[in-house]
């Protein structure tokens, strides 16, 4: 039973003493005051239980307070909490050896950080040092961080301040097969396809050619002939689970490499088995990046991030000392190591594939029933449901309507997320331990929320 601070006092403190803007983006008109978690469940201070289908933006990977991770954390906490550097400690070495085994050659050199922004910041620096070039390409709608450097990579305006961020970042057209002008729906890697057809000719995605044409045009018009790199999420997260045509990333990587650039996969949301079919999102695109950045799910809620790269790139980074007091501390490594073990022992990735596919197929049935459900997409447990005014226009469902449905879903006991550059996409990225029973519960709730909104209009 919760006996702590009152809700009213927490709101006051949040507004006065704690990053007040986050109250505005803390999602709900009536905030949720969470107090405790276990696996896919959260409890609020009044003891009300919620099914958590957002996991703090895919942050909790194997389950809230997973017993195995909690035990490993406690064990290390009692033994040693210290800095990463200066001395040699076993948890770091055990962890990096383990994490490296999840990557194909030559991705074997690991730098540990405390967050995704820090990891991307580091990857930017490495790409520029290694190539001797400056310009970086990302896609519109992407989110790669909120520090002053990584804000330049991010292309999602609510998160961008009007200050000088790093220069040399160009945002190319997002090859979004639903909202983009050419479709490409049949060619994305998802168990469900859009209702919007593309102009594919016998196994060849012509929409892909057009999106790639836009990338070529970006190179021709906006960046010097030599570039430092491309940052891309395998499936956009904050952008609203945006997926690209199947061959897009492969062709884009080739164009970037022809211009001397490195290819960086931002796996902050898609890594650690979330996409179900593969451990890393990039593997679903049949590419091998030069760098992979990760955070969030790596520590199941504990702060941790990483850049994984090649020995050649690491060698270019040897001109000065890269020091990070807590990145890869004994505690962070012990926690993250037990997360990797748990993913194996619990069959987390397999569950992601099974339950995620089941959920997406049921959601696609709802999409066919409702005029305002425009698109259902994703892979594994990285899922987006894009809401529209109507299927013909595909205009985004306005924010007030989104928040009405969103609030209703929460009031019925389920937490999901929102994203997309117009805030038009519901996001489902739960702890990967959810079951088909949970999915059935959510579907009933979602159906009811959409139905009652539709009835009122």
103 binds ligand PMP (CB under 6 A): no
Residue 35 · residue 48 · CB < 8 Å: no
61 binds ligand PMP (CB under 6 A): no
Residue 430 · residue 40 · CB < 8 Å: yes
| Least Å from the CB of residue 295 to ligand PMP | 4
| Least Å from the CB of residue 166 to ligand PMP | 15
117 binds ligand PMP (CB under 6 A): yes
User: For residue 269, which of 295, 304, 290, 288 has the smallest C-alpha distance?
Assistant: 295
Give the number of residues written for the chain.
457
Residue from 189, 233, 386, 438 binding ligand PMP (CB under 6 A): 233
128 binds ligand PMP (CB under 6 A): no
120 binds ligand PMP (CB under 6 A): yes
Give the sign of the dihedral formed by CA 208, CA 241, CA 335, CA 88. Answer: positive
* Non-local CB neighbours of 53 within 8 Å, separated by 6+ positions: 40, 414, 415, 416, 417, 428, 429, 430, 434, 438, 442
Pick between residue 59 and residue 194 the one whose CB is nearest to ligand PMP.
59
Pick between residue 144 and residue 179 the one whose CB is nearest to ligand PMP.
144
* Beta-sheet pairing, 291-294 with 305-309: antiparallel
Residue from 130, 144, 196, 246 binding ligand PMP (CB under 6 A): 144
Pick between residue 150 and residue 362 the one whose CB is nearest to ligand PMP.
150
155 binds ligand PMP (CB under 6 A): no
Residue from 176, 189, 247, 266 binding ligand PMP (CB under 6 A): 266
Pick between residue 215 and residue 304 the one whose CB is nearest to ligand PMP.
304
Residue from 229, 237, 374, 419 binding ligand PMP (CB under 6 A): 237
| Least Å from the CB of residue 119 to ligand PMP | 7
Question: What residues from 380 to 419 belong to the interface with ligand PMP (CB under 6 A)?
Answer: none
Pick between residue 89 and residue 278 the one whose CB is nearest to ligand PMP.
278
Q: HSE, CB side, 13 Å, CA atoms: give it for residue 185.
A: 15
Instruction: Return the CA Rg of the chain.
Output: 22
What the block records as the tokens of 202 is 């016998």
Question: What residues from 38 to 57 belong to the interface with ligand PMP (CB under 6 A)?
Answer: 57
- Cα 153 to Cα 226: distance, rounded to the nearest angstrom: 18
Where b means 16+ CB within 10 Å and e means fewer, 162-194 reads: eeebbebbbbbbbbbbbbbebbbbbbbbbbbbb
| Least Å from the CB of residue 12 to ligand PMP | 26
425 binds ligand PMP (CB under 6 A): no
* Beta-sheet pairing, 136-139 with 305-309: unpaired
Residue from 41, 50, 103, 143 binding ligand PMP (CB under 6 A): 143
Pick between residue 69 and residue 264 the one whose CB is nearest to ligand PMP.
264
Taking CB under 6 A as the rule, which mask of x and - marks residues 282-301 in contact with ligand PMP?
-------------x------
Task: Compute CA distances 110 → 233, 310, 432, 444, whole Å.
Answer: 19, 9, 25, 44
Under the rule (CB under 6 A), what is the footprint of ligand PMP? 57, 115-117, 120, 143-145, 233, 237-238, 266, 268-269, 295
């Amino acid at each position: 039973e919760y006996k702590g601070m009152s809700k009213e006092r927490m709101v006051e403190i949040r507004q006065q003493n704690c990053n007040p803007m986050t109250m505005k983006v803390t999602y709900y008109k009536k905030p949720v005051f969470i107090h405790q978690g276990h696996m896919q469940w959260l409890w609020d201070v009044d003891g009300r239980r919620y099914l958590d289908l957002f996991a703090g933006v895919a942050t909790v990977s194997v389950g809230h307070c997973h017993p195995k991770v909690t035990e490993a954390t406690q064990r290390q906490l009692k033994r040693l909490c210290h800095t990463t550097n200066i001395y040699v400690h076993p948890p770091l070495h055990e962890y990096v050896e383990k994490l490296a085994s999840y990557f194909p050659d030559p991705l074997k050199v690991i730098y540990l950080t405390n967050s995704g922004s820090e990891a991307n910041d580091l990857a930017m620096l490495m790409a520029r040092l290694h190539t001797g070039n400056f310009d970086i390409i990302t896609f519109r709608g992407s989110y790669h961080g909120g520090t002053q450097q990584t804000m330049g990579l991010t292309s999602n305006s609510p998160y961008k301040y009007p200050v000088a961020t790093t220069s040399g970042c160009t945002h190319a057209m997002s090859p979004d097969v639903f909202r983009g002008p050419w479709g490409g729906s049949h060619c994305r890697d998802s168990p469900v396809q859009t209702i919007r057809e593309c102009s594919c000719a016998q196994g060849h995605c012509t929409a892909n050619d057009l999106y790639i044409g836009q990338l070529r045009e970006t190179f021709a018009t906006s960046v010097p002939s030599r570039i430092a790199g491309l940052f891309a999420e395998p499936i956009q997260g904050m952008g609203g689970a945006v997926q690209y045509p199947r061959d897009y990333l492969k062709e884009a990587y080739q164009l970037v490499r022809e211009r001397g650039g490195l290819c960086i996969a931002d796996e902050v949301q898609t890594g650690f088995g979330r996409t179900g079919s593969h451990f890393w999102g990039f593997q679903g695109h049949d590419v091998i990046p030069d760098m992979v950045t990760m955070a969030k799910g790596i520590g199941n809620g504990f702060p941790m991030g990483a850049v994984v790269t090649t020995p050649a790139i690491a060698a270019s980074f040897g001109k000065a000392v890269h020091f990070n007091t807590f990145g890869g501390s004994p505690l962070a490594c012990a926690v993250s190591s037990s997360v990797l073990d748990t993913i194996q022992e619990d069959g987390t990735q397999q569950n992601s594939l099974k339950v995620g596919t089941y959920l997406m197929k049921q959601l696609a049935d709802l999409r066919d029933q409702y005029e305002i459900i425009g698109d259902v997409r994703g892979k594994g447990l990285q899922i987006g449901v894009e809401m529209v005014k109507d299927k013909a226009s595909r205009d985004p469902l306005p924010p007030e309507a989104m928040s009405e449905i969103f609030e209703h879903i929460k009031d019925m006991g389920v937490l999901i997320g929102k994203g997309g550059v117009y805030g038009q996409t519901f996001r489902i990225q739960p702890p990967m331990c959810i079951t088909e029973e949970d999915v059935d519960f959510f579907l009933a709730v979602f159906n009811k929320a959409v139905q009652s909104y539709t009835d009122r209009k």
